[in-house]
Amino acid sequence: MFGEGNEFFGAVLLFMVGTVFAFIWGRRRGEDPEKTLQQKLLKAATKKVVKHLEKNPYITEEGVAKLLKGTTVRDPWFRKLMRIDDAKTYAKGLVRILVENGAIRYAGKDGYCLPEKKEEK
């Protein structure tokens, strides 16, 4: 397989690759899949909202709900997926979290916008 002089090296290399794979797989299986998917969904939703606000000045809660409707994340290790079905409720919670974290700010009747960038001196 690896040549006459490299059989031992090849066996050690295969053993190392198998050990690393088993270690990573074991660590992933030890995680809570529900919590991991929720974190991935929150990250994906946040990314969508911020990306939208980079192109457009404002977004309302209804706009966030429309933007997030049907957003799905998948975890290949557990063969599970999580999708936003009730976009209005999720948008309300997401907007609250993003405002608390400073990712967006309330802009009055226009809805929400990105916070103003501080100039570096």
What is the model's pLDDT at position 60?
Answer: 93
- pLDDT tens, per residue, the chain with 121 residues: 555 556 777 788 888 888 888 877 777 666 677 888 899 999 999 999 999 999 999 999 999 999 999 999 987 766 788 899 999 999 999 999 999 999 999 998 889 999 987 655 5
Give the C-alpha separation, 110 to 121, whole Å.
Answer: 31
DSSP letter for 103, please.
Answer: S
What is the model's pLDDT at position 32?
Answer: 74
Nearest to 72 by CA among 106, 40, 30, 28: 40
What is the model's pLDDT at position 9?
Answer: 79
In a 3-state reduction of DSSP, which class is residue 66? helix
What is the model's pLDDT at position 99?
Answer: 94
What is the model's pLDDT at position 119?
Answer: 56
What is the model's pLDDT at position 11?
Answer: 81
Long-range contacts of 104-109 (CB under 8 A, 24+ apart): 104/49, 104/50, 104/53, 107/58
What is the model's pLDDT at position 36?
Answer: 82
Whole-prediction pTM value?
0.70
